[in-house]
Amino acid sequence: MAVYTDITEDDLKWFLTEYDVGELLSYKGIAEGVENSNFLLHTSRDPLILTLYEKRVDKGDLPFFLGLMQHLASRGLSCPLPLPRRDGALLGHLSGRPAALISFLEGMWLRKPEAHHCREVGKALAAMHIAGEGFEIRRPNALSIAGWQTLWEKSEARADEVEAGLQDEIRGELDFLAKHWPKGLPEGVIHADLFPDNVFFLGDKLSGLIDFYFACNDQLAYDVSICLNAWCFEKDHAYNITKGMALLEGYQSVRPLSPAEIAALPTLARGSSLRFFLTRLYDWLTTPAGAMVTKKDPIEYLRKLRFHRQIASSAEYGLKA
């Protein structure tokens, strides 16, 4: 569920007077997403997305997110574009929340992506990394090494409720990653959350990337490892090397990985697995019963973490020399 703040038609019409978007015809809440309240608006000109930024989003980060989408779109990447108000600002207020109007992106996300879709995702991710060059605002990755430790401290005492022995296993993993986390790899703007529901397709053609609200500055190859985890495992948690090969080939056809990035990929994949395991674990343990939020099983990412722990070389992901 992703409508946490209700809006009235009168308030919405007042809000829209600050934009040159035509007359409001209809609006409805969008059920997907977990961070913000989203609505689909139909106007006399174009369909639009209205986003109300909820309390979990730091208002200070909004210039980064909105400015990044503008920057990427100006560099040719297909992504939603924030609409300016009549005064030129990208951000307004509605129902007590910061709010923005975003262009509507045609397409749907895939429930069952195949290898050729993964290849297109790899290309699009590399294109985003290149398009992000020159964006001057920086946002550190709050969900990297230091952030993982903070999340773990909030969940550690109850971790063995999810699986016996989990406390010792995750402590050991955090220690390993703190000692072996790659340094000096190429950095830039990363999406950091490019799961299937954040990539739109029209048929087999990728139509654009959405939801940049975890975007930040970090090592580019870390973003590749997030996509391997998100796109290249099957429902039985088995790694699909055909999908992995396609995604990596697609990425490298646009932005070749350096030898150091290739060597670091297994460690980066362990880290990105741990990142999503920890956020899911925290939500699993703290979300009250009956909340209008779908909890995601942390064990899925624990199994991915254990898989990456056995990887000796990036060639095992399908990466060709």
Which residue type sits at 126?
A
In angstroms, the CA 3 to CA 215 distance is 22
Rounded to 5 degrees, φ, ψ at 218 are -165, -175
Distances from the Cα of 221 to the Cαs of 2, 259, 282, 287, in angstroms?
30, 11, 26, 32
Handedness of CA 42, 45, 46, 51 (dihedral sign): negative
Q: Look at residue 290 in the predicted model and tell me its pLDDT.
A: 55
Q: Whose structure tokens read 């951000």?
A: 91
Looking at the DSSP assignment, which residues form a beta bridge with residue 201? Answer: 108, 206
Residues of the chain with pLDDT under 50: 1
Q: Residue 321: its pLDDT value, please?
A: 64
What pLDDT does residue 1 have? 42
Query: What's the CA gap between 94 and 11, in Å, rounded?
Result: 7
For residue 97, give the DSSP letter.
E
pLDDT given at position 71: 97
Q: What is the pLDDT of residue 279?
A: 94
